Amino acid sequence: MNPFKREWETYKWMRSNRWKKKRRMYKMVFDLTIDRVTGTYLLFFLVLGGIIAYDQLKPYGSFFTRLEAELFTALTSVMALAIMRSVGASFRGNGILFSRGEHVMSLLPMRRERIWVLSLLSHVCLTALVVVFLCAAVALITPLSTSFLLTFGIVVIVLYGGSLLIQWRFYQFPFLLRLGLFVSFAILLALINGLSYVVFESLSYAWVPSLVVWGSLFIYSARTKFVNVDWERVIRDSDRQIWNMWVVNVVLKPVGLDTPSQNRGAFRLLRFNWWKKPFKYKSNAMYHRILGLYFYEQLSAIGSLAFVTAILLYGVAPLGKFGFSLSIMLLLLIYTTMLGSFLYSVLSKPILRTMPTNINQWVKAFSKWVYSGLAIVAIPVIYLANMTFQSYGVVAAVLLFYFVVFQQLAQLSYKQTRGVLNKGGSQERWPTVVLMVCQIVLVVFVPWQPLWISLLGLVLSAVSRLLRLTEKKEFQAQSRNV
């Protein structure tokens, strides 16, 4: 019998048994979350929604024709997104699953390399089926042409298959090296797109150097795919991903069953002796130490923010002024919302209530972290502004506006956390309302009237400053009683 055929039959039998077990597990999970009647109604409404969407989108054929032209131009950014996806995804997993079942097969008279190749091919084939299904659904609902969807699907499948190999190789690198490579590639691709726009006044030529970078990474990963591989770590992470422990934990969390966080990168950073040095309780070092530890524990969320930034920078922004305004809006909104959640979470810890803290020092320390992170976010924002209409006034006004609004949000969140401010009052709704107004103004005015958003940002900043000055005395008086 052919050895490769024997390995394929064994691998297929193992995958079949695994699928049967996963099907039973998912059946029990869905029985806890959704019943058959609800699922049937949900499927019916999805089909009905697709029919309604098709009827509503059919008269807009000319719009989709123009959209195809814009998306063909944006396909040049898919190469850059593939590179950033490969490096960024290596923080979450190895890409090519090699679980305990594949490891047991390698103990038999079967080559580990062939089993690894079979796992890669099966993953790519499943991805291709999903992409084909999605393209077929989009073709049925929207007036997009079949040739465009076919081209887009082939590009996505090819780049995804190659990116899995790059992700596998980068997964073997140390955490700090991967972090440095992610930042380096982001800067390199930004320079490539910027030079293409400056020299050719278009991003259509940026795909050539991006393809060279992606091809070099692919060749390097293919030649060194089995060099210094920590198979024990690969098997452990693959088992957790195959059995989808995240979904199981979410479903079983009301019962009280949960697994500890697997943020190994943060725990590596916490090994440094700098975190264990003593500090004076009266100095600001205590606040910065606590905030630094908390942010390092949230590296997965911060990595997601970096990945979203890369998508907005290389995928949405090349669509023109509308893409610019959308990228600015989403980037600043996600950043502000995430930091607001961080502030509320870190100040809600019970241990902080027993420490001799000062409310004003907390706000100052957190503001320094906020401004440092926002300075990093400002780099792609200024880059987008330079690509679009060579105007930095709007960017400065929007960033200044977010500085003031988020500082107000920080103070109100802390007072609400410690019970100083009564819930349901009008003051804590002020930052939320202003943020919503800012998003609407960004979408409406930025592509055509940059001066209006600049003036509006300055006016709202002044109003927010006046509100903080009027409540300063009351704020200090109440903080002494906390």
Question: What pLDDT, in 10s, does the model give residues 242-253?
Answer: 877 666 666 555
Q: Looking at residue 155, what is its pLDDT?
A: 86
Q: Given this model, what pLDDT does residue 3 score? A: 65
Sign of the C-alpha dihedral computed for residues 384, 388, 390 and 392 taken in this order: negative
Q: How far apart are CA 360 and CA 156, in angstroms?
A: 50
Read off the pLDDT of residues 339-350 as tens digits, 9 standing for 90 and up. Answer: 666 766 766 666
Q: What is the pLDDT of residue 260?
A: 45
CB proximity list for 276: less than 8 A, separation 6 or greater: none
Q: Is 40 exposed, middle or buried (0-12, 13-18, 19+ CB in 10 A)?
A: exposed
The answer on pLDDT for 454 being more than 50 is no
In this structure, what token pair is assigned to residue 186?
A: 């982001």
15: number of CA atoms within 13 Å, CB side? Answer: 14
Half-sphere exposure at residue 143, Cβ-oriented, CA atoms within 13 angstroms = 13
Residue 259: per-residue pLDDT: 46
For residue 252, the model assigns a pLDDT of: 56
Helix orientation angle between 450-470 and 393-417, rounded to the nearest 10 degrees:
30
Residue 54: is its pLDDT beyond 80? Answer: no
In this prediction, residue 84 carries a pLDDT of: 81
Q: Return the pLDDT at 122.
A: 87
Q: Token match 């990945």: residue?
A: 307
- Check pLDDT > 60 for residue 476: no
Q: Say how many residues make up the chain.
A: 482
Range scoring the smallest mean pLDDT among 126-130, 290-294, 296-300, 425-429: 425-429
Q: What is the pLDDT of residues 263-286, one digit of tens each?
A: 454 455 555 555 566 666 556 677
| Helix/strand/coil percentages in the chain, nearest 5 | 80, 0, 20
Mean pLDDT of 200-214: 75
98-107, 183-192, 287-296, 430-439: the lowest-pLDDT one: 430-439
pLDDT at 449 over 50: no
Instruction: Give pLDDT, residue 333.
Output: 65
Residues 199-219, mean pLDDT to the nearest whole number: 78
- 111-170 tens-digit pLDDT: 788 888 888 888 888 889 999 998 888 888 877 888 888 888 888 888 888 888 999 999
**Res 457 pLDDT > 60:** no
Confidence of residue 105 (pLDDT cuts 50, 70, 90): confident
Q: How far apart are CA 359 and CA 419, in angstroms?
A: 12
Give the model confidence (pLDDT) of 76-100 as tens digits.
667 777 888 888 888 888 888 888 8
pLDDT grade for 357, boundaries at 50, 70 and 90? low
Q: Residue range 327-342: average pLDDT?
A: 67
Q: Under a CB-based contact definition with an 8 Å cutoff, are residues 91 and 178 in contact? A: yes
Percent of the chain at pLDDT exceeding 90: 0
The answer to whether the CB of 194 falls within 8 A of the CB of 116 is: no
pLDDT at 446: 47
Q: Which of 424, 427, 437 is nearest to 333 (CA)?
A: 437
Tokens, residue 462: 């002044």
